[in-house]
Chains A and B, each alone.
Chain A
């Protein structure tokens, strides 16, 4: 069964540094999402992406965040200047439409 792939599985970064989290959605999916889960808390929506543009973003998704689909397969989340509170698990998800979203295994981001 096709899977959503996320790399790296764990990223450790110094505060203030830029970080890029990578995702390869399922190949025939059209809608892409990033979610965040701070340790011990619920999963929160960050941003949705369709047709090469952001469709919706949450309050969390401020100017420090950006997303990009640089080619036909990758979907990236960039945090420009990381803060301690950005430490979390970041999940990428994709779907064809009004179908259940398929999640990747997540990237654990640790900010030191």
Chain B
């Protein structure tokens, strides 16, 4: 069974600074997807970034980038130039690619990020 672990329940960063959120996972599979979702106080679930395990290049979306270390089963999220609107709960999630019907997302427990002015 796959598991996702986020060891930082809460983090704080000053506006315009950089912060890194940690995520580790456990799987015996070689091919899979990893995601970071953001959940602001409104409680929507918003996709931030995705990474395919077969790709060595780390994914980047504007101020958001990941450090994907497949051998270490680590998938951290770096937020550069933090903005007040980045304040949210961040969930790391894992998904197997075997047909859409079994593509359930397995979530970590989340990291609550507070961006301070």
Which A positions have Cβ atoms within 8 angstroms of B? 30-31, 33, 35, 37, 41-45, 48-51, 55-56, 89, 91, 93, 95-98, 100-103, 105-106, 108
Q: Assess the B43–A30 pair: CB atoms within 8 A.
A: no
Q: How many residues of B contact A (CB 8 A)?
A: 24
User: Contact flags (1/0) for B26-54 with A, using CB distance below 8 Å?
Assistant: 00000001010100001111110010000
Chain B residues with CB under 8 A of A51: 101
Q: Assess the B35–A50 pair: CB atoms within 8 A.
A: no
Chain B residues with CB under 8 A of A91: 45
Q: How many Cβ-Cβ contacts under 8 Å join chain A to chain B?
A: 68
Q: Which of B64-117 contact A (CB under 8 A)?
A: 91, 97, 99-110
Choose from A30, A44, A45 the contact partner of B100 (Cβ within 8 Å): A30
A48, A56, A97, A100 — most chain B CB neighbours (10 Å): A100
CA distance A30 to B103 in the complex (A): 12
Chain B residues with CB under 8 A of A41: 109
